[in-house]
Amino acid sequence: MRTAGYAAYTDQLRLLASDVVKGSWRRVHQDVEHALNGQAAQRLRSLVPLQVRRDEGAFFTGGEVRSRVSALMDTGEPSTAERFWDPTCGAGDLLLAAADRLPIGSTLAETVRLWGRRLRGSDQQQPFVDAARLRLLLAAAARHRGEVSPGSINVDAGLRAFRGIQAGDGLALLRSTSSYRGHLLLNPPYGSAPADPDCDWTSGAVSQAAVFVLAAAQALGIQQRMFAVLPDVLRSGSRYEPWRSRVESLLDVERADLYGQFDAQTDIDVFLMRAARRRKRTPSVPAGPWWPAPMASSSVEDAFEVRVGAVVDNRDPHEGPVAPFLTARDLPPSGAKGVPGRSRQFAGRLVTPPFIAIRRTSRPGSRAGGEARAAGVLVTGVDPVAVDNHLITATPLDGGEAECKRLLQVLESSEVSEWLDQRIRCRHLTVGVVRSLPWPGLG
Measured CA to CA, the distance from residue 254 to residue 218 in angstroms comes to 17
SS (HEC) of 350-392 = CECCCEEEEECECCCCCCHHHCCCCCEEEECCCCCEEEECCEE
Q: Which stretch binds ligand SAM (CB under 6 A): 121-129, 267-275, 337-345, 385-393?
A: 121-129
Name the residue nearer to ligand SAM (CB basis): 188 or 340: 188
Which residue among 14, 84, 86, 102 contacts ligand SAM (CB under 6 A)?
A: 86
Name the residue nearer to ligand SAM (CB basis): 94 or 331: 94
User: How, if at all, do strands 266-277 and 225-231 pair?
Assistant: antiparallel
Binding-site string for ligand SAM from residue 135 to residue 174, where x marks contact by CB under 6 A and - marks none: ----------------------------------xxx---
Name the residue nearer to ligand SAM (CB basis): 83 or 344: 83
Which residue among 48, 85, 98, 123 contacts ligand SAM (CB under 6 A)?
A: 123
398: how many CB neighbours lie within 10 A of its CB? 9
130 binds ligand SAM (CB under 6 A): no
Tell which positions 185-214 bind ligand SAM, by CB under 6 A.
Answer: 187-189
User: How, if at all, do strands 376-379 and 304-308 pair?
Assistant: unpaired
The contacts of residue 313 (CB under 8 Å, 6+ apart) are 327, 344, 388
The sign one gets for the Cα dihedral 355, 361, 362, 368 is negative
Cβ of residue 341: shortest distance to ligand SAM, in angstroms? 48
Size of the site for ligand SAM (CB under 6 A): 23
Q: Which stretch binds ligand SAM (CB under 6 A): 11-19, 57-65, 219-227, 235-243?
A: 57-65
Contact (Cβ atoms closer than 8 angstroms) between residue 279 and residue 269: no
39 binds ligand SAM (CB under 6 A): no
Cβ of residue 58: shortest distance to ligand SAM, in angstroms? 4
Cβ of residue 98: shortest distance to ligand SAM, in angstroms? 11
Q: Which stretch binds ligand SAM (CB under 6 A): 5-13, 181-189, 234-242, 316-324?
A: 181-189
Name the residue nearer to ligand SAM (CB basis): 127 or 237: 127
User: How, if at all, do strands 205-207 and 391-396 pair?
Assistant: unpaired
User: How, if at all, do strands 304-308 and 355-359 pair?
Assistant: unpaired
10 binds ligand SAM (CB under 6 A): no
116 binds ligand SAM (CB under 6 A): no
The DSSP output letter for 195 is: P
Cβ of residue 193: shortest distance to ligand SAM, in angstroms? 10
Contact (Cβ atoms closer than 8 angstroms) between residue 16 and residue 31: yes
236 binds ligand SAM (CB under 6 A): no
Measured CA to CA, the distance from residue 214 to residue 199 in angstroms comes to 11
Which residue among 10, 111, 124, 395 contacts ligand SAM (CB under 6 A)?
A: 124
89 binds ligand SAM (CB under 6 A): yes
Q: What is each CA distance from 440 to 291, 297, 403, 408, in whole angstroms?
A: 20, 9, 11, 12
Half-sphere exposure of 174 (CA within 13 A, CB side): 26
Residue numbers at the binding site for ligand SAM (CB under 6 A): 56-61, 86, 88-90, 93-94, 122-125, 128, 169-171, 187-189
